[in-house]
Amino acid sequence: METGSTSKSRGKAERVKGGGTTRLSSMLQKIEPFMPRIDHNPNELRSWAKRTGFVSDYSGGTQASASEKNDSALFDLEKGLDSINGGSSPKIEIDPVLGRTKPNRGIEIEPVVKNERDGTGRGEDQSRRTGDEAKVDERKVGSNGSVHRNGNGNVNGIANANGNGHGNEVPAVAPTVEPKKDDSLAERDAKLDFPYGEEPAPGGWHRPSGLKCGLRENPGFVPLIYYGLQHYLSLAGSLIFIPSIIVPAMGGTDKDIATVISTMLLVSGVTTILHSYFGTRLPLVQGSSYVYLAPALVIMNAREYRDLTEHKFRHIMRELQGAIIVGSIFQSILGYSGLMSLFLRFINPVVVAPTVAAVGLAFFSYGFPEAGSCVEISIPQILLLLIFALYLRGISIFGHRVFRIYAVPLSIMIIWTYAFFLTAGGAYNYKGCSPDIPSSNILIDACRKHAYTMKHCRTDVSNAWRAAAWVRIPYPLQWGIPIFHLRTSLIMIIVSLVASVDSVGTYHSASVRVNSKPPSPGIVSRGIAMEGFCSILAGLWGSGTGSTTLTENVHTIDITKVASRRAVEVGAVFLILFSFVGKVGAILASIPQALAASVLCFMWALIVALGLSTLQYSQTASFRNITVVGVSLFLGLSIPAYFQQYQPESSLILPSYFVPYAAASSGPVYTGSKQLDFALNAILSLNMVVTLLVAFVLDNTVPGSRQERGVYIWSRAEEIANDPSLLSDYALPRKVAKCFYWARCLGV
């Protein structure tokens, strides 16, 4: 029926105000059920939900509840019934949220949910209130104070005072239904006030339990600054230590280390903001990833670069820039073309877990061999990190778990201070030896053997503070025009695939922690495409590695309990500001190399753990899964070891921890093309690439159920489009979305 019946019934009730109970009974018999309107106004429903405290957890947002007009008319009619009897009838109190009478009141209203698709109704046992969908549509009030409903859903008033059941001339006492204010209603309304002025949609976005700040929440300016800085401090080990490895290996100076660190801070801040607005829109920090570190070491240890003496750093950096740009273009095409959506079908936790773990395991030959150059610093650093992150993680100071969140920066500050006192106390002073003299110019044999220790342990050996300017803005092509070669470009194209697989696992894990649903394949493709674009920027600015989603993001969200997109953006702005201050990069470049290597030992181990934790989405006890993961990891370490045993002729000039990355120039693969030989030897000497290939083939060929494999379940595009709450989480800004209206495959 039409909703206009409400006003008609109310008018009749007013006309019979003084006419007696017989006219009341006849009027009640003509009341028809209130049907929900199909052409409802979403704003009207939101207003009704906010006023009544109704919250639905149905994420589809397709079923409609009773409209605001029906609801208001319902209570007006009940007030009219009360006025008919002059207020002398017994008061019937109805809970305004549950839609049913309070206990021992004599009247009960049974809610019925009307299904719009087939017109059928569901009983009360299938309907819920306050977080569940339910609608009080049909009511039938009898003279004995009970509620009845006939078979076809119409409401009939039955007056049976004389026991004949005919309802003729029987005086009846009409109950008065009066909505009562409930104190808890204000609390429910308060919960409906969402950040940015958004009201809850029928899908009902809910903040996951345990989070201090949800994805779209804005806790205020000061908390945003605190949460933003906290987020990036917990990722400090991943943001600043890569230059400490690659720049010295490329022949760069301390000033070059400071400049590359400032460049990385700038690129990380800019790319994080871009990804937050135009990527997946999840609170994920972008930065120089360890995925690109191993191939960078392979390229810079090529045979033709070992003998360079003049401008070695700039030449290798330009080579890396060209390779990163080409690989990033391939990654962007993979995302924007929608091919990534098809590729997602073959990427599952059993593939992601060993691949990410192999990224961390690839540096076992570098970790402690480098840190062991100064064990009096590195061992206390590793122990302190473990104590803070594991043993003291539950200790709260002023309501904050300081040791768990700031384990890395706190331990660095303490051990750095300890190393300063060791240096000032003369622990690294050797008679007749000066730390300012390069090892190549040392003539005394007794000093030559101590040069390595002084370089890695002393806190005053770096001249970055003296050489760096106070204000320096990194700019594109600051190292020169990039150099493009086929061999290095092929390496980075394959590595971009590994970075995409790594990011897919991070997207899914992060979305589970901050949202009720993961993104759609189109949104994942959009994120991968944006990562490719961000890596192009990293190549142009010359950060030495590509930019991708840091795997440690999931760990950071877990320990900080902050998933605010705004907080990540504010922290990114601070990174950009810090990059303009040259002395900030100089301070970070002054960290002793042994201390940096010991922190990296912990960070790489954490990446291994985060990668293996992805198996929680599959059946970890399955023999199929554990075999695929075990074989992938073993072959991923063993096959590159076979290629790495072909050591270069000039291996004596390389540190022992760089020898495994020099196999590209002297590997066993020989095709007749030097460019292709270099690329194939390099690719097969990378642990993460071999692990990905083995895991990918085995997981997609060995039989197994979807549940056993833990196949990622991504949201469908129509589900997100129909759920305004999820739409506001993942959708692009309106003006940007208009420019990409043609790209349906990107989930815009």
Q: Where are the alpha helices (DSSP H) in 645-686?
A: 674-684
> Rounded distance, CA 352 to CA 498, Å?
9
Asked if residue 434 has pLDDT above 80, the reply is: no
Asked if residue 157 has pLDDT above 90, the reply is: no
Query: Do the beta carbons of residue 94 and residue 168 sit within 8 Å?
Result: no
> Is 592 part of any domain?
yes
- The residue segments making up the domain with residue 434 are 221-735
Name residues whose C-beta falls within 8 Å of residue 141's C-beta, 6 or more positions apart in sequence: 28, 107, 147, 155, 157, 174, 175
- CA 463 to mean position of chain CA atoms: 39
Ramachandran assignment for 42, one of left (phi > 0), alpha (psi -120 to 50 degrees), beta (any other): alpha
Asked if residue 634 has pLDDT above 60, the reply is: yes
Ramachandran assignment for 324, one of left (phi > 0), alpha (psi -120 to 50 degrees), beta (any other): alpha
Give me the pLDDT at residue 84, please: 42
**Residue whose C-alpha is closest to residue 271's, from 456, 543, 472:** 543
> Is 120 part of any domain?
no
Query: What are the pLDDT digits (tens) for 223-279?
Result: 999 999 998 988 888 888 999 999 988 989 999 999 999 999 999 999 999 999 999
> Is 451 part of any domain?
yes
List residues bridging with 549 in a β-sheet.
286
> Rounded distance, CA 708 to CA 706, Å?
5
How does DSSP classify residue 92?
E
Q: What is the mean pLDDT of residues 628-651?
A: 87
**How much is the mean pLDDT over the chain?**
77
Q: How far apart are the first and last CA of the chain?
A: 38
685 confidence band (pLDDT: 50, 70, 90)? very high
> Is 98 part of any domain?
no
Of 199-203, 372-376, 514-518, 530-534, the range with the lowest mean pLDDT is 199-203
> Is 149 part of any domain?
no
Asked if residue 557 has pLDDT above 70, the reply is: yes
> Rounded distance, CA 268 to CA 238, Å?
11
The DSSP line for 697-716 is HHHHHS---HHHHT---PPP
Give me the pLDDT at residue 707, please: 92
Most confident of 125-129, 146-150, 201-205, 358-362: 358-362
631 confidence band (pLDDT: 50, 70, 90)? very high
> Rounded distance, CA 301 to CA 659, Å?
8
Of 217-231, 311-325, 431-445, the range with the lowest mean pLDDT is 431-445
> Is 116 part of any domain?
no
C-alpha atoms less than 13 angstroms from C-alpha of 235 in its C-beta half-sphere: 32
> Is 84 part of any domain?
no
pTM: 0.72
The DSSP line for 596-641 is HHHHHHHHHHHHHHHHHHGGGGS-TT-HHHHHHHHHHHHHHHHHHH
Query: In the chain, how many domains are there?
Result: 1
> Is 389 part of any domain?
yes
> Rounded distance, CA 577 to CA 566, Å?
17
Query: What are the pLDDT digits (tens) for 707-716?
Result: 999 999 898 8
460 confidence band (pLDDT: 50, 70, 90)? confident
User: In Å, how far are 189, 292, 358, 551, 552 from 633, measured between CA atoms?
Assistant: 52, 19, 7, 18, 20
